[in-house]
Chains A and B, each alone.
Chain A
């Protein structure tokens, strides 16, 4: 069972470069989430989606864009990477907001 898969797992970017993180889930979940985790800050919600074709802002959306063109995929884009975006990024999905959220293994991004 694949569950939630994130690609890539590691990436180093130069300031100003762009990249897209891919999250794929095979559980037919409606809800998907992107978080970033920094030391001492816990997980902070960047953007989330309540179904195919929908997206919404979370706690820290600035500098990121997302798309949910297919139900199983949730893409997180960085148009112009900044060192402040150095973090571990986690994607998650759930069937409903009241049920367990399953997480991917994380993407460790460094912006130099």
Chain B
């Protein structure tokens, strides 16, 4: 079993739709959580960090449930420019900072 698992994709949605991505992690010692975005054949870039209390950045909302070892990302009012692969990332700081990525979920927003 992979340490970080994401919903299999791709997600194909119309503009304006709301889409949710889910991610689970297996190591309860994980301490930091992130969502990264990767455009085709480019390097990943940080979308947002995920805090225990949940956090929002414009149309994007991230949630963390430590008890269930579950992370989510909600995108409201999808834009064409949101089309990308979204990567869930977990860091086990107490083991020297291993930064572990999920396999990614591809999103395609259509007109």
Contacts and interface: CB of A to CB of B under 8 A. Distances in A.
A97 B101 contact: no
B97 A105 contact: no
Interface string B70-110: 00000000000000000101010100111111111000000
Contacts of A94: 99
B97 A31 contact: yes
B22 interface: no
Given A43-B87, A97-B91, 10 more contacts: A31-B99, A42-B104, A45-B101, A48-B98, A50-B97, A94-B99, A98-B31, A98-B91, A104-B43, A106-B42
Interface of A: 31, 33, 35, 40-45, 48, 50, 56, 58-59, 88, 90, 92, 94, 96-98, 100-101, 103-106
